[in-house]
Structure formats: C-alpha cells, structure tokens
Structure 1
C-alpha cells in the first residue's frame, strides 16, 4: 500500500470516533467503521471525499457511483442521495476523509492564479453534472496526508492548515473534475445561479414549488433553468424536492416514535397514500415498517441485559 495512503489510514484511526467526526481543521471530517450500512438518505454537500479503506455506494436519482480505496468523490452542489457502505469489517474497516469545498477559497485561488487552475493550466473537461468519481493522484494524496498529519500537531494548524488546503484545491482544479469544481468559485457562473435556487429548495422543501419562481431566483428563463437544473443534478426540480422530503421523512422515522401520517404531512405531503407509495419506491420498504423497526430497536436498547444462569441459559 502507498505509504501516504497508509499514513492517512493511521490518522483516521487516531482521530475518528463512532460515525462521522469533525476535526480541529475547519471543514475536514473523518470516518471509520467496521460495519456495512443499509441505504440511507442524506444530502451530500459540496465536498471532496477520499476513501482510504472499504467501498461505498452513493446513488443519485437511481445512478449508483461506486468508489473504494484510493478513489474519491466530488460533489459541487447540495444533492439528495442514498448512500451505503458496502465493504467494511474488523480486518478491513471502512475509512474516509472529507473536505468541504469552500466557494470563497476556490474564488481566491482562481483570482490569485489568474487561470483555470491546475499546475499545467489544464483542468479537465467541464461536465454539467455536479458529481464525479475518480482515482486520487499522488500529488493530491501527498497534500491530503500532510493536512491530516497536522491533527497530531494542533499548534501548527493555524499556521499551516490553510496553505495545505489551498494546495489540495489546486490539485483538484488540475484533476478530472477541475473544470466543474472551478464553477464553485465563479460568482456569476451558471453553476452559482443554480446553486441559489437549490439553496431555496433545501430551505423550503416542505412548501409548494413553482419552477417559474426558481428560474427567477436563478436569473434564467423557465425552460433554460429546467434544462440546466436537470443536467447539474440529474433530476427535475420536483424530483429534487421529492427526494429531500423523503430523506427527511426517513430520518424522522428512524430517530424517534412518530406517527407515519404526521411525518408525511410535516415534510410536505398532503396525501398519505402518495407519501407511502413514493417512500416505498425510494427505500424499498414502507414508512410504517421503518417506524416499527425504529421502535423495536429503541425497546431493545432500553431493555435490561439478559442474565445467564450457570447452565448458560439466558432468561
């Protein structure tokens, strides 16, 4: 195994707690687990995420992105996805490191360099899609290893962290998704205009949606907005809103005892049957089954541990 990747794995092991763990470096998180997971809805925010061990699937509107050790995923806008860790165990844990993509820092880098980004001036072919997967380059791996190494020397973070993050962004701009990442830092790009509309949908996902209103937010005609939104997110605005609603509903059903109908209404559904039908289509199970399973897990967690008599029988 590449020594830089091995160093990243060691750093993740030292600093990751159970679940996704924020670090002392702003925007940097680490994850380590020995368990695979069931498909779970989430919103993928603009970030670069490297897999240091194991395999993950991220599904965006039915298209599955598979990436494993030494590969990374880049997302450039908020995307409702369904993710699952499909390879992880005690011998080979799933390990990942994620760095948020900050528009202001990308803009500053582009302004200072005066070019499209990347050491060679070439930043890949622009793709309208907001997500991409690819292998990590040695130079990018080296910079990421040095950034994670700062976690063992907290006093160095203020002096060195921003510089190494800038180097990582520079390597990303020179990579296969570089031209797409560049759009994050351009204030008047089509990407930036669409991002404003996407942000509105995220903040008002439970309210009625009119494409004409979103097009006005993005300063586009309705037909142009619809076309470019679909190219960027792989879904229509209404499909995007629906997936946000269903992801939020699933989270509420999994994290507490909620009445299924009230959850559907709370995320914007006026029809319980439509909510149940669309939920099952997305997650492969009904809302009531999700709620029931969550309640059973809570009861099991609250139950006193079973006792064993000397014969080994549990009672």
Structure 2
C-alpha cells in the first residue's frame, strides 16, 4: 500500500472514530464539513455552496437539470455558486459507510489565488454550467488529507494553519488545466459566468422578494433573453425556478427549527398563497409541509 493510500485509510478511520455515522457534521474548521452514513437513499434536493466535494468511501449520483452523473473515490465535484442539485447515495453500508468531505470556498478566495497565477482569458464571454467533475489525482488528494488532519491540532492553531492549507488546495485546483479553466471563468471579473454568479447570489440573498428580471438583467449588463439563457446554462434552472428552490429550502429549514405554522413559513419565504406554497413544497420534498415539519423535528430525516 502506498503512503497516500495508507494516509487515506487512516483518515477514514479517524473520521469514523471522531464523528461516528451521524450524517452531516460541521468540523472545527469553518469551511470543512463531512457526511458519514451507513444507509443509501433515493434522490433528495440539496443546495450546494461553492465548494469542492470529495468522496473518501462509497458513491453517489448527482442530478443537474436532465443530466445524471455518478461519482466515487476516483472523482471530485466542484460547484461554483449556490447550486440546487438532486443527490442520491448509491454505495453505503454498515460494514463500509459512505464518507465524504466538503471544502467550502468563495469566489473571492479563488480570485486571490488567481491573481498570482498566469491565466488565459479566452472565451470569457461564453458561460459554463456551474458544476464540474474531475479526476481525483494524488496532487489534489494529498493536501486535502493533510487538511483534515489539522483537526488534531490545538484549536488556537487550527485557524491559521487551515487558512494556509486551504490556499494550497485552491492553488492546486486553479493550476490544473480543466478545473483551473472552470474556476477562472467564474472568478474573472466581467466574464459572463461571473456576472451570472453575482445574480445567483443576489437572488439567494433576497429570496423572499419579488424577482424583477429586468433589473437583475440590467445589473448583469445583459438583455433579458441573454440573462435568462446564460442563467439556465449555469444553474440548469430559470431565475424564477431557482428562486422557488431557494425559498422552499429555506422554508424547510424554518419548519425544522422553529415552532411556526405552515402559513407563517410560507409568508416568511415570500409566498402570498399558503395553498400554492403547500403544493410546491409537496412537489419538491414529496411530503406536505406540516407532516414534513413533524418528521424533521423528530430527527427521523
């Protein structure tokens, strides 16, 4: 067994001993979280942050629009912005739990790294979908594993050391041909993909407000038709459908954490009609909001 494979096996054992099989876990490193499960599951709707996702053990399928992609320990996933995806765990068991990690980042952090790298600025006026799958090379995996082991350090050292280690990982990604090209298109100021990224962030941050397509398109310096076309390339959704996904996900979080009525949750996320909210919520999550809130609070889901 190579030194890197040995380190990988030790890392999996370390994570299982530290966190157990408890689903989503936020680590002591702010930008790093883990997902550990011994059960597979069918497709669920998930909102990804801009992030690097790596599977240490197991496999999953990811749906982006009509496209389905499977990935496992040999590949990684990059998302450039807030991305509604459908996710299914396809390989997990009690004997061999699914173990993955997510390193969250901002495009500002990517841009800071890119400023010190020679980059090509061709095709910046052509947008690209906001998800990217790449081969997980030793060059990428090795600094990621070292990053995880920083959790063994005293807490007062973790912040400083993790910032340095994170920059190394991002540098490795931006200097790789394919992932570097992908990240460059979204980080480069003035590119079409970067303009859509800012529009996505605006819609997410103002999800409860009515969406004025003309104003958002104007802020992107695009016609409405061009904005709609490029937004759908990046996210696989129209701006209205994207806002709806964000609203419903926020409503799910409210129903899971606050003792409020379905009507109040609907109003808080921007719906004017509680009945419309219930219909769309049920369509997205497969269960009515009132019943779902009881399930979520019980800890079953």
Specify if TM > 0.5: yes
The structural deviation recorded for 1:207 is 1.6
Conservation of the 8 A alpha-carbon contact between 1:34 and 1:88? yes
Structure 1 residue aligned with 2:117, among 106, 113, 117? 113
Contact 1:36 1:88 in 2 (8 A): yes
- The answer for the alignment partner of 2:144 in structure 1 is 144
Of 242-251 and 259-268, more deviation after overlay is shown by 259-268
1: distance between equivalents of 2:157 and 2:275? Answer: 56
What is the SS of the residue equivalent to 1:91? coil
Match of 1:85 among 60, 85, 89: 89
SS of aligned partner of 1:141: helix
Show the 5 A alignment for 1:93-172.
93-116=97-120, 128-154=128-154, 157=158, 160-172=161-173
Give CA deviations for 1:254-286 in whole Å, capped at 9, x if unaligned: 445543333223322223333233223322333
> Which residue of the other structure, out of 250, 264, 267, is the alignment partner of 1:265?
267
Task: Verify: 1:202 aligned to 2:204, yes or no.
Answer: yes
Runs of 4 or more off by more than 6 Å in structure 1? none
Distance change in 2, residues 1:279/1:104 (3 Å):
closer
- In structure 1, stretches of 5+ residues that fail to align are 118-125, 301-315
- 1:3 maps to 2:11: no
d(CA) in 2 for partners of 1:185, 1:76: 9
Q: CA deviation at 1:48?
A: 0.1
User: Which residue in the other structure is 2:54 paired with?
Assistant: 50
Determine the C-alpha separation between the residues in 2 that align with 1:108 and 1:266. Answer: 36
In structure 2, the partner of 1:312 is none
- For 1:158 and 1:285, locate their aligned partners in 2 and report how far apart those are by CA, in whole Å: 41
Q: Give 1:288 deviation, angstroms.
A: 3.8
What residue in structure 2 maps to residue 313 of structure 1? none
Which residue of 2 is the match for residue 12 of structure 1?
Answer: 15
Aligned length: 290
CA distance in 2, matches of 1:175, 1:7: 30
Residue in 1 aligned with 2:33? 29
Q: For residues 16 and 210 of structure 1, do their structure 2 counterparts lie closer, same or farther at Cα, with a shift above 3 Å needed?
A: same
Task: Say which is worse superposed, 263-272 or 33-42, in terms of deviation.
Answer: 33-42
| TM-score, structure 1 as length reference | 0.79
Q: Conserved in 1, the CA contact under 8 Å of 2:186 and 2:197?
A: no
How many Å separate the matches in 2 of 1:247 and 1:229? Answer: 20
RMSD of aligned alpha carbons: 3.0
Instruction: Quote how far apart the aligned CAs of 1:111 are.
Output: 1.8
CA distance in 1, matches of 2:39, 2:182: 33
* Deviations 1:44-103 (CA, angstroms, capped at 9, x unpaired): 110001011122344344544432233221100111234343432321112111112332
Cα distance change of structure 1 residues 152 and 35 upon mapping to structure 2, 3 Å threshold: same
